Amino acid sequence: MIGRAGACVLVGVMTALCVGDVQAARAKKTAAPAPVADTAAPLGRVLAETAEVHSGAGFGYRVIAVLSRDDVVRMVERGKRGGWTRVRLESGIVGWVLSEQILLFSAGTGEDEKVGPLRRAGRRLRETILGPPNLLTARIGGAFSAGAFGKEGLFLVRPSVFLSPNAAIEAYVGPAVGRETSRALMGLGLNLYVSPSIPFTPFVSVGTGAVYTRGKVDALGGGAWSYLVSPGAGFWLIFKAGVGIRFDFRNHILFRADHARQKQEYSGGLAFSF
């Protein structure tokens, strides 16, 4: 037999347990679902030195975060609001960044792809050595090229100013030396880059200038000036920090009132942009 005091205690405990179960059930019904990681969204890498994350798609919205070069974000919505991309940061912040400051580099399936060893090695090579390229944000650049100018040796310095990610005004100056003559080339041209958003970008170019040709010491006659027209093409392989390797292939047409000839350029060397 349980005394009156024990019965009261037992009733109190049972009442407390029932109230606790009811409150737990209500809390379970009203609790917000646990956030699910947006692993299906593609991944993007920041191209600019700094990229501001705004609370809305426009500069008039408040800056809620600042990203640095090579930061990785989830791309929730891309290019649907006047050139702005909605991104999710690792901290969970969701905001808007200029689309030109973000480079898509992963489909973001949320699971590691089953790839072969060669493809994995290529991916590691790209992550450690290649880009992301900085032509989307570059303002100035240049190249040091060495190669052949016909049968003559060639060395050119090529400073450039970017008008846009796809176009740059480029000057060139340097010597070309052969067995019988030595030349000084100088001029100005336009380069059009086909794919500035990836580490490998082909380009086409056209330029004009002048070349001063002079014979060797034992040759008769003095030096002479010729006009120069230089259509051509090439490609640029960009590594990290805006440094890369560039190759040029051009057909230089030298002409003056009484003479015209062509010389092909095959050159390569170090290139940079920042």
Q: Could you say which residues of the chain have pLDDT below 70?
A: 1-40, 79-81, 91-92, 107-116, 119-120, 122-128, 130-134, 136-137, 197, 217-221
Superfamily of domain 43-114: SH3 Domains (2.30.30.40)
Predicted TM-score (pTM) of the model is 0.59
φ, ψ dihedrals at 116, nearest 5°: -80, 170
Distances (CA, A) of 12 to 4, 9, 137: 12, 5, 72
Beta bridge partners of 127: none
Delimit the CATH 2.30.30.40 region(s) of the chain: 43-114
Q: Which two tokens stand for residue 120?
A: 């994995």
Per-residue pLDDT at 199 = 80
Written out in words, the top-level CATH class of the domain with range 140-273 is mainly beta
DSSP state of 5: H
Where exactly does CATH 2.40.160.20 map onto the chain? 140-273
**The token pair that represents 263 in the structure block:** 């010389």
- pLDDT score for 3: 53
Contact 115, 124 (CB under 8 A): no
